[in-house]
């Protein structure tokens, strides 16, 4: 099995302590904690203090004029000349 057991974890922790030193690790953990705290505060500020802005206005075209069909000139019935008489 390839898992890390307790002796392996202790050896890794000892190597990290030797490489970085106790002061540097505590400083890094403090910076990490400050970063998380700052992140949480930023998220809280964003959700509670968000300025309310109206939605952007939509661009609309002016209302179209109704289309009326062309009006034809009145037609008159042809009159018979001479009423069929000569």
Q: Please check whether residue 35 lies inside any domain of the structure.
A: yes
pLDDT of residue 38: 92
Would 34 be classed as within a structural domain? yes
pLDDT score recorded for residue 82: 55
pLDDT tens over the chain, length 86 residues: 578 889 999 999 899 888 888 788 888 889 999 999 999 988 887 666 666 677 777 777 766 777 777 777 767 766 655 555 55
Contact 25, 16 (CB under 8 A): yes
pTM (two decimals): 0.36
Residue 27 lies in a domain: yes
Query: How many structural domains does the chain have?
Result: 1
For residue 33, the enclosing domain spans 22-49
Position 7 in a domain: no
26 assigned to some structural domain: yes
Asked if the structure places residue 15 within a domain, the reply is: no
Q: Is residue 37 part of a domain?
A: yes
Q: Residue 4 domain-assigned? A: no
């Amino acid at each position: 099995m390839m898992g890390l057991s307790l002796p392996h974890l202790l050896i890794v922790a000892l190597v990290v302590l030797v490489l970085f030193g106790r002061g540097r690790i505590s400083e890094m953990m403090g910076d990490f904690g400050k970063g998380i705290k700052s992140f949480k505060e930023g998220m809280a500020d964003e959700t509670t203090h968000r300025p309310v802005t109206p939605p952007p206005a939509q661009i609309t075209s002016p209302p179209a004029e109704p289309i009326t069909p062309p009006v034809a000139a009145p037609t008159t019935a042809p009159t018979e000349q001479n009423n069929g008489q000569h």
